[in-house]
A and B are shown apart, each in its own frame.
Chain A
């Protein structure tokens, strides 16, 4: 356990120093990240104004709060690309990783957060400007901020675990990234990324509550905006844990079977 912690910290530090080389690339990524929610924000505030100030239970200021916090959540939960495992297999890099006594899962999970340190630093001034321009309605209590932080960390881990589990398909199919593409498409609609989940039709909300997407994106947002009762918050955490267990189980089974196949056909 101590050894693993040391590994996580070292991997984090090393990735951090490698990101120093890509400061500019990260800035570009931030700009791309900001453009998407700003478009939603402009659209919905305009619609809200045209409808006498409220749409789907959101005022103009609440929309602003939603999409500004959105940027933070999106940035903090982004993890694997669509084809990370596939690329590892295709490039033969997986073989190099398998020689070492640490599962590549940990290497990827540990290196993710380091980029976030940089993007967070870039993001802060941008968020400050957006707050001045769009004047969000947001006054979370201290416990809501703390709960939000916990839900956010869980969302990051959950999304990572599910994407990793899904990418295990690369052991069997050559273009497994198509699967991840489907995941991203469903996530776009059902996670709260395109619009707040409460604005979806009831049936879509119900589907969304069962599937993992909301719990790895929209849930922390709803916590921060104070849209959930304490009971709903508790339930949300339970669902996050449940999906995490499902993902972990899938990874355990698929990784073992995948490796068997990988080592049978030759890396």
Chain B
């Protein structure tokens, strides 16, 4: 087993996108002379991921997450830089590499529409040349974990989105890849279904020691699965470290929650009132002021149930992206 499962060094991907002004004249001009504009999708990123690690890859739309995943899955050639996954260079698309990895892209699946998922699984077996006994064992295990027993016999087009995505997940993992690239694996699903997929990914990682790089807009996915996150924005890495560290580093505020006997008191002198619900107050204060404000609150007012918390991770992330560049 190599020391790092995924190693990325100064990776860049620049797209040349044609630009054209509006109108017929511009269209004709474009026939003769095509103007291209460079778009830096990924702009010199470097990171390593150890075997068995589950890493959250966070960033707003267009940050370069999907491009990076596509490069690592062998679908894109980078403009420059290096990448090695399990000691393979992904874009050479070596068959042995393809047999050891998978890329799940949200709602874009591998299943055939008109036949039951069960039969698509069979095709996966043939494509990946999975020995029959392994195939049956893995398939039955996954079908049970995701509670798919009654669904895999129905034509895929008769399944709901969530059911289909669960079947897709099985199809993508039947060959038991060591490397999982998951691009929004829970997008568009209801909370229960998201949770089911999440638990499945965690279980897969635990059982097979697979390395997972995952993007998601649902922080619940990230919190549940990833100890480490890489934050990417405009093609550059803003943060690479523990999830807890991200909150500590980028959140300049804390929230203080408490219940007040006299709900009519003016609290603006203590901090920003985020909510005031039937005597239950949520106050936002600068991190450095937290202990001082807490002490003052307790001295000045009659207070019950006081708790101090970090702001929700969504708010922290939003804050990270709002700042063009931190530090």
* Chain A interfacial positions (CB closer than 8 Å to B): 3, 6-7, 9-11, 14, 17-18, 21-22, 92, 95-96, 98-102, 259-260, 263-267
Q: Do A11 and B123 have beta carbons less than 8 Å apart? A: yes
Q: Do B122 and A266 have beta carbons less than 8 Å apart? A: no
Q: Do B102 and A99 have beta carbons less than 8 Å apart? A: yes
Q: Do B115 and A98 have beta carbons less than 8 Å apart? A: no
Q: Contacts A98-B74, A267-B70 known; A14 to B123 CB distance under 8 Å?
A: yes
Q: Do A14 and B112 have beta carbons less than 8 Å apart? A: yes
CB closest chain-A residue, reference B181: A99
Q: Tell me if B110 is interfacial: C-beta within 8 Å of chain A.
A: yes
Give the Cβ gap from B213 to chain A, nearest Cβ, in Å: 15
Q: Contacts A92-B108, A267-B75 known; A17 to B129 CB distance under 8 Å?
A: no
Between-chain CB contacts (< 8 Å), 10 pairs: A6-B126, A7-B126, A7-B129, A14-B112, A14-B123, A17-B119, A96-B108, A100-B127, A263-B76, A266-B67
Give the Cβ gap from A147 to chain B, nearest Cβ, in Å: 32
Q: Contacts A98-B93, A263-B91, A266-B67 known; A14 to B119 CB distance under 8 Å?
A: yes
CB interface residues, B 81-133, toward A, < 8 Å:
91, 93, 95, 98-99, 102-103, 105, 108-110, 112, 114-115, 119-120, 122-123, 125-129
Note all chain A residues with C-beta closer than 8 A to B108.
Answer: 92, 96
Q: Tell me if B77 is interfacial: C-beta within 8 Å of chain A.
A: yes
**Best-surrounded residue of B73, B115, B125, B155 (most CB of chain A within 10 A):** B115
Give the Cβ gap from A252 to chain B, nearest Cβ, in Å: 15
Note all chain B residues with C-beta closer than 8 A to A95.
Answer: 70, 75, 105
Interface of A is mostly: helix
Interface of B is mostly: mixed
Note all chain A residues with C-beta closer than 8 A to B47.
Answer: none
Q: Tell me if B15 is interfacial: C-beta within 8 Å of chain A.
A: yes
- For chain B, the count of residues having a C-beta within 8 Å of the partner chain is 34
Note all chain B residues with C-beta closer than 8 A to A9.
Answer: 126
* Chain B interfacial positions (CB closer than 8 Å to A): 15-16, 41, 67, 70, 73-77, 91, 93, 95, 98-99, 102-103, 105, 108-110, 112, 114-115, 119-120, 122-123, 125-129, 155
Give the Cβ gap from B220 to chain A, nearest Cβ, in Å: 27
Q: Do A10 and B123 have beta carbons less than 8 Å apart? A: yes
Give the Cβ gap from B183 to chain A, nearest Cβ, in Å: 11
Give the Cβ gap from A98 to chain B, nearest Cβ, in Å: 6
Q: Do B122 and A14 have beta carbons less than 8 Å apart? A: yes
A96 to B112, CA, bound (A): 12
Note all chain B residues with C-beta closer than 8 A to A92.
Answer: 108
Note all chain A residues with C-beta closer than 8 A to B91.
Answer: 263
Note all chain A residues with C-beta closer than 8 A to B16.
Answer: 265
Q: A9-B126, A263-B77 are in contact. List 6 more A-B contacts (CB 8 A).
A: A14-B115, A17-B115, A21-B155, A96-B108, A100-B128, A101-B128
User: Lowest 9 A-B CB distances belong to which pairs?
Assistant: A10-B126, A101-B98, A3-B129, A101-B95, A7-B126, A18-B114, A263-B77, A21-B114, A18-B115
Give the Cβ gap from B71 to chain A, nearest Cβ, in Å: 9
CB closest chain-B residue, reference A21: B114
Give the Cβ gap from A195 to chain B, nearest Cβ, in Å: 38
Note all chain B residues with C-beta closer than 8 A to A259.
Answer: 93
A267 to B105, CA, bound (A): 13
Q: Do A102 and B127 have beta carbons less than 8 Å apart? A: yes
Note all chain A residues with C-beta closer than 8 A to B129.
Answer: 3, 6-7
Note all chain B residues with C-beta closer than 8 A to A267.
Answer: 70, 75-76
Note all chain A residues with C-beta closer than 8 A to B102.
Answer: 99
Note all chain B residues with C-beta closer than 8 A to A102.
Answer: 127
Note all chain A residues with C-beta closer than 8 A to B112.
Answer: 14, 18
Note all chain A residues with C-beta closer than 8 A to B127.
Answer: 7, 100-102
Note all chain A residues with C-beta closer than 8 A to B15.
Answer: 265-266
A265 to B99, CA, bound (A): 25
A79 to B76, CA, bound (A): 30
Q: Do A14 and B74 have beta carbons less than 8 Å apart? A: no
Note all chain A residues with C-beta closer than 8 A to B76.
Answer: 263-264, 266-267
